[in-house]
A = this chain, B = another copy of it.
């Protein structure tokens, strides 16, 4: 397994995250599956904390995803977040629902709140019952020593990892109507944990004072240009969860609408932070050697551009070509064609990096194999497609498809 080696696309250093008033963090070893590593994250949240969420589109979601969706509908805010790695509590039937309810009960006693104010996420093996009794005692102990400093954030990012090769953290500082606020975020990537499927999880926290509906609107919008624009292999987890918590401790003026101009800076900072986290997930894609940015422009609409970009980013033939450092634009044409979106073969233009390889439906007359190959040897590659039809555009991120991906996901029993 190459998962013990750090991805060559990992950033040189992880950022040091500042304290956020109203957020207290602790991690522990609950013995869910791993030995000698933390597998539980407990986050205590100040009274009045609001929360918004975006979840997997899977028609077979995990029990924690169902729980969080219901909890958000209950609208009681959030007083605690419990995340475990090692077991996704997915496809576990009635036992899974009971395990989630028990986890919420344990955390609710600890945080002195309603169970519906406890958010829960799980990642790791699926189809195996999760023994939530293991959280009894552990969460109370966590709450007793929870803290808010940089080390606590680093530990939090570590505790939610499965086959991630590096922890993923990001932070932004911005003002709302003159009042400084902070946003911190952590994520875990689309890795695999033998012998089963893991998940994409991300949690963002801010001290801004924002009501739930505004938070939800900001988060849903931000997801469109970040986590919904990243793919490793096109497979969708049963457990994908993105939550945004706002403690309100910054004490900014009340806003009631997401399009309040005083939120422009906050919105931009949040979008930017989510994009950074999403890119970190692509950088840690299983077996990845190359980060690929796919930019599509000139489509009939933005959604059309997005579907074409995802078709390129998910194509095994495009991804193996990138792994082989081959400027194989024919496969990009193929992926445009299979997207099922409006496209005119004879208007297509394609670039690898700054090198235009095809124009007006044929190989660029000035095409230089050498120049294109030089681009493909870089660790970060941009594939750009102009459809020449309209103003629609999109940008997504993926990684290459290597033998290590097959090894990580196929070899572990052989």
A326's partner among B93, B195, B328, B341 (CB-CB below 8 A) is B195
| Bound CA span A91–B236, Å | 32
CB neighbours (8 Å) of A403 from chain B are 403, 406-407
Contact indicator B410/A345 (Cβ below 8 Å): no
A321 within 8 A of B: yes
Contact indicator B197/A409 (Cβ below 8 Å): no
Contact indicator B320/A406 (Cβ below 8 Å): yes
Which residue of B has the minimal Cβ distance to A235?
B317
A251 within 8 A of B: no
Stretch at the interface among A19-27, A56-64, A100-108, A150-158: A56-64
CB neighbours (8 Å) of A265 from chain B are none
Return the CB mask of A170-214 against B: 1 if under 8 Å, else 0: 000000000000000000000010011100000000000000000
Contact indicator B233/A409 (Cβ below 8 Å): no
Stretch at the interface among A43-51, A269-277, A330-338: A330-338
Return the CB mask of A317-357 against B: 1 if under 8 Å, else 0: 10011111110111101111111111101101000000000
Contact indicator B90/A333 (Cβ below 8 Å): yes
Contact indicator B91/A361 (Cβ below 8 Å): yes
Number of identical monomers bound together in the oligomeric complex: 2
CB neighbours (8 Å) of A92 from chain B are 362
A379 within 8 A of B: no
| Bound CA span A331–B320, Å | 22
Which residue of B has the minimal Cβ distance to A56?
B337
For the complex formed, measure the closest distance between the CB of A290 and the CB atoms of chain B, giving whole angstroms.
11
Interface residues of A in 359-414 (CB under 8 A from B): 360-363, 373, 400-403, 405-407, 409-414
Contact indicator B333/A91 (Cβ below 8 Å): yes
Contact indicator A362/B409 (Cβ below 8 Å): no
A163 within 8 A of B: no
Interface residues of A in 55-73 (CB under 8 A from B): 56-61
27 A-B residue pairs with Cβ-Cβ distance under 8 Å, sorted by A, are: A57-B338, A60-B336, A61-B345, A91-B345, A91-B348, A93-B346, A93-B360, A93-B361, A127-B362, A127-B363, A197-B317, A197-B328, A197-B330, A234-B314, A235-B331, A236-B338, A238-B333, A238-B334, A316-B316, A316-B401, A320-B405, A320-B406, A322-B410, A324-B413, A324-B414, A400-B410, A403-B403
